[in-house]
Every structure is written in structure tokens, then in C-alpha cells.
Amino acid sequence: MPKLPAPPLPKVLQPKPPRPGEENSNGDGHSPVAEAGITVVDWLDERTSLSGGLRWLLFRKVPRGVNWFYTLGSATLFAFLNQAVTGVFLAMFYRPDATGGAYESIRYITDDAFLGQFVRAMHKWGASVMIILIFLHLARVFFFGAYKYPRELSWVIGVVLLILTLAMGFTGYLLPFDQRSYWATIVGVNINGTGPLIGPYLSDFLRAGPEFGATTLSRFYAIHMLLIPGLMAALIGAHLYLVTKLGISAPPWLKTGPEPEIDRAEV
């Protein structure tokens, strides 16, 4: 069985060679438990070659001087994962029924279901956290100039993700179906309608008709939990691929290393 190449671990984490005279039973310094784990990983890796991809993704070179501002993208990603996980479990209780079932199911989640209020609050406050984080991430990329060549496509995908995140906020706001969500959605759809020429038809598409109707709520629900999340997951994958492929940009204040010899040489 082929042995995995050693990942570039720091010295303290690397396995120590056995002291003279205390040779391990299986000969290569691993306990039987570690040996079993290595066997499983080897079995998977022989069939998938995943280890190379994981090493490509996780053990990258980063420029000197990176700081906490560089974690905002990951923070946004974790906010998205929080929304996805809590949203899946909220969907187990939610009913998109405009005649009163939607409001009642939200009331049940909040008042009766075990941990329902907590999970709903995670989703509700997590939505605001994600909006804040995505704007901070955008500001970091903008002010550090990290959108420049060759990372323009990362920026474009990021802007699309921003728009989709805002659309998630808009469609999710209707789902509790109380007075605030109903009237906020009326106002929001009418703002869409003020776009010239296509605005009136866009409003009709969002409402599924000329008035807020029987299927408007389920339409918003489907957009909120199926259409946009799928798009966002795909685009986040592309975004992360580009981050890994291109590497992250150095902070703008970072000087390049010692001046190369050739620059100082007189011609």
C-alpha cells in the first residue's frame, strides 16, 4: 500500500521517531489505532486521489502580513452555512400557507417546538450577521485593492453573491407572514415595479399575478429555500476555487522583499 507523503506540518506536530530501545510493535512508530485510521485514509485516497486536492486547498502559501481582515470571507461563509443548516430544520416545521397556516407554523416554532425559538433566532439574526459580514468583506477587498488583476472574476462573482444574499433577505422577510412582513413585501415588490418597462412585469412575476395572491407566499418560499441557495452554493464553490487557484493578495502596505540584485546593477 502506498504511503501518504507527509503534509507540511509544523515541527511540534510531526511524529517523533522512537527512542532507541523502545521499538514499536508494528515497526513504523504508529499505535494500532492510528494505523487503522491511516489504512482507511489510504483506502479512500487510493480510489479518489482526494489528498492532493485537499492539500491544494488547505496548505497554501499566504503572503506575509495577512491579518484578521482576511478572515471576513470565511466568516461570511460560516454565516451562510449557519443559514443553510438552521434553514433546513426550520423548513421541517414551516408551512407556506397564506390563509393563516404560515403564521401559525411560525408561532409553533417560536412558542412550542423544542429549541425552536433558538433555531429560528439563529436563522433570523444570522441573516443580519451575514449581510453585515458580506459588506465588511466587500469593503476589505475594495480598500485592500484585492479586486485587481488577476482577481476580477472573484470580485464579479462576489458581487453576484451579494445581490443573491440581499434577495435571500427580501424573500425570507415575507415568510413569518405577520403584518410587518406582508406590508414590507408589498412595498418591496412595488419598488421593483418602479423599474421602467419591465418593472410591472417583474412585479407580476414576483406576486404570480396582479395582486398579492394565493401562491405569492409559496413562490417566495421556493425562491428563498431552493432557487437562490442552490445558485449561491455553486457560486461560492467557484469563488473558493478562484481564491485557491489565484492565492490571496498581499496587504497593500507590504513592501516586496529585499531589492533584487538586478535592479541595483548599473547597466
- Which residues form the interface with another protein (CB under 8 A)? 98-100, 177, 182-183, 186-187, 189-191, 193-194, 196-197, 199-201, 203-205, 207-215
Nearer to another protein, 213 or 252 (CB): 213
CB of 218 to another protein, least distance (A): 11
Q: How far is the CB of 106 from another protein (least distance, A)?
A: 15
CB of 1 or CB of 187, closer to another protein: 187
Amino acid identity of residue 87, one-letter, is G
Q: Which is nearer to another protein, 80 or 182 (CB)?
A: 182
Round to whole Å and give the CA distance between 73 and 101. 37
Q: Which is nearer to another protein, 119 or 206 (CB)?
A: 206
Q: What is the 3-state secondary structure (H, E, C) of 166-234?
A: HHHHHHHHHCCCCHHHHHHHHHHHHHHHCCCCCHHHHHHHHHCCCCCCCCHHHHHHHHHHHHHHHHHHH
Measure the CA–CA gap between 239 and 235, rounded to whole angstroms.
6
- Longest Cα–Cα distance in the chain: 85
**Cβ neighbours for 261, distance < 8 A, ≥ 6 positions apart:** none
Q: Which is nearer to another protein, 70 or 103 (CB)?
A: 103
CB of residue 233 to another protein, shortest distance in Å: 20
Q: How far is the CB of 96 from another protein (least distance, A)?
A: 12
Smallest gap, in angstroms, from Cβ of residue 195 to another protein? 9
Check the CA dihedral 185-190-195-201 and report its sign: positive
Residue closer to another protein by CB (options 193, 247) is 193
H-helix or E-strand spanning residue 236: helix 228-246
3-state secondary structure of 14: coil
Output the nine-digit C-alpha cell for 264.
541595483
CB of 200 to another protein, least distance (A): 5
